[in-house]
Structure 1
């Protein structure tokens, strides 16, 4: 069976080719993202396409895939807001994903961003390299005893809660489906507005949907404590970029860590070091001393990439054979 990969990087090729020794599929890797600009170039003998977070699979793209005989769309990630699932159903294409490749990888990156912003280790590193050992401007605060608000307590959010409990934090959380296991270890579930009202730190761990687009906006930001720290390792569209810039300028938000960005498909996973970015918002955010931006790397560990490759190829193999997958959360259509 032939699987065509989009938005493919060298590490994708490495991990998928190693895993494919157990499957013997024909793998082809394209660096371009999948969208209307390239879908017509797909050859008719392609059985499945494997896509990532910034590939755009709207109804027109999916119709073209179906006309070319593509039977499976395999997401090598957990989120699926970039795929028109109704169109996939209409044109008879199965859609699968990897919902839990390594929750710890993303949760640990969120903690790393929080610690970096708070204790300013990135600034200390640069100072010491210049033989500047001054501590002025590097003061942080103890995490112990702070209230951390967690938005979304799926596998990643749950892993983040457990880490922060280990720091001695009080955890308040919001999720439409409350987790009894987390309750038993001390996580307090509250309505969204109560969580953001009480939290010193807010970390977002939920999927992007039409209902929660721009969940973090002027209204929700104004309801937070003055000087809150905000971390987002989920999806860029959960945060209104313009509103967060205003909140940073007026001090409502004391520190921001983002591994995702609303317009990231034009920027992330690319080397733009020799270019001038036309995105004024990201340029402004990068210029703020209290903002830390990473390029959607929270998932990027050996363990996560191994799990992604294994589960993706297993998903595709079973669906192409019309066999069932035990974990229903891996099947979207």
Structure 2
């Protein structure tokens, strides 16, 4: 298949090129994001490969369809960026990479937590300035803390296993409780109870109509004062305005996020020479107890290799007319 690869980053191109020889697929890598202006680049291709911040709304899907393209391979797990109803009407086939490396994301979640709890990012900067004072660097133990995990899919499970190694009490909320997690000692509770009892809250659920802004003013009122919140899932799980209010009032003691609800025009770009226009993230960055990374939780060699492998497998199955292992259900 001839595949138009949009929103290309050097690390992605390298991982895909390492596996393309002998695959039978011909990739053309475009740096541009997929939008109405760049969609014509896909003319003459059999399929497109897109990322989580390429919006496949009705207008873009119709334009691609006009070029004779109705096959999309996503190199990500999430698919809330797609108009599924429009895709169904236009007879699109869409596949994703559902679990490229749960451990990569779970480990990054804990990296955020450990950095916030022991202030190693601040210590690093001090020592580079020959400042070896410990004043202001007092942290807190993770051992014996109660950690609430929202969503116990593959990433949530990987996070729980790490947390158990720290000697934590684990509470969880999921629409479909996992018996193996229960056997390990995880207590599944209603969401309100998880919010109320947790010292640390880690989000690992998909973004749906029900989970949109699930961490809001009302939810924060149910949490312990000084709660630590970690989000490596989807930015819009958190109402940023309410989180800022919670930080100002001390309700949120620490916030670590790898995702942000308005990240589309920020993340994956070098904006160091520009004036930051997003006032909410600029405000977040003024808090000393907030740590932000730019959607890098997935970024390990192992995860990139798996993303390339599964994406090529999806293309193989589409081309062969086989049953698709990773097809996104439309409509």
SS at match of 1:203: strand
**Mean Cα displacement is larger for which, 82-91 or 302-311?**
82-91
- Compute the displacement of 1:128 (Å): 1.0
2:7 aligned residue: 7
Tell me, in whole angstroms, the C-alpha distance in 2 between the residues paired with 1:68 and 1:311: 26
2:323 aligned residue: 324
- Compute the displacement of 1:144 (Å): 0.8
1:17 aligned residue: 17
Tell me, in whole angstroms, the C-alpha distance in 2 between the residues paired with 1:131 and 1:83: 50
1:238 aligned residue: 237
SS at match of 1:249: helix
**Mean Cα displacement is larger for which, 293-302 or 275-284?**
275-284
Tell me, in whole angstroms, the C-alpha distance in 2 between the residues paired with 1:153 and 1:231: 15
Does the aligned pair in 2 maintain the 1:208–1:235 contact within 8 Å? yes
**CA displacement, residues 272-302 of structure 1 (integer Å, 9 cap, x when unaligned):** 1111111111111112110000000000000
2:313 aligned residue: 314
In the alignment, structure 1 residue 198 sits paired with structure 2 residue 197: yes
> In the TM superposition, what are the counterparts of 1:79-118 in structure 2 within 5 Å?
79-118=78-117
1:28 aligned residue: 28
Tell me, in whole angstroms, the C-alpha distance in 2 between the residues paired with 1:221 and 1:53: 28
Over 3 Å counting, the alpha-carbon distance change for 1:194 and 1:22 in structure 2 is: farther
Tell me, in whole angstroms, the C-alpha distance in 1 between the residues paired with 2:320 and 2:90: 18
- Compute the displacement of 1:24 (Å): 2.9
Paired residues, number: 330
- Compute the displacement of 1:321 (Å): 2.2
> In the TM superposition, what are the counterparts of 1:56-135 in structure 2 within 5 Å?
56-135=55-134
- Compute the displacement of 1:332 (Å): 3.3
> In the TM superposition, what are the counterparts of 1:156-167 in structure 2 within 5 Å?
156-167=155-166
> In the TM superposition, what are the counterparts of 1:146-225 in structure 2 within 5 Å?
146-225=145-224
Tell me, in whole angstroms, the C-alpha distance in 2 between the residues paired with 1:81 and 1:314: 22
Compute the RMSD of aligned alpha carbons.
Answer: 1.1
Tell me, in whole angstroms, the C-alpha distance in 2 between the residues paired with 1:332 and 1:160: 27
Tell me, in whole angstroms, the C-alpha distance in 1 between the residues paired with 2:41 and 2:328: 27
Does the aligned pair in 1 maintain the 2:42–2:48 contact within 8 Å? no
Relative to the length of structure 1, the TM-score reads: 0.97
Does the aligned pair in 1 maintain the 2:70–2:90 contact within 8 Å? no
Tell me, in whole angstroms, the C-alpha distance in 2 between the residues paired with 1:322 and 1:68: 21
- Compute the displacement of 1:172 (Å): 0.2
- Compute the displacement of 1:330 (Å): 4.6
> Gaps spanning 5+ residues in structure 2: where?
none
- Compute the displacement of 1:223 (Å): 0.7
- Compute the displacement of 1:37 (Å): 2.8
- Compute the displacement of 1:40 (Å): 3.3
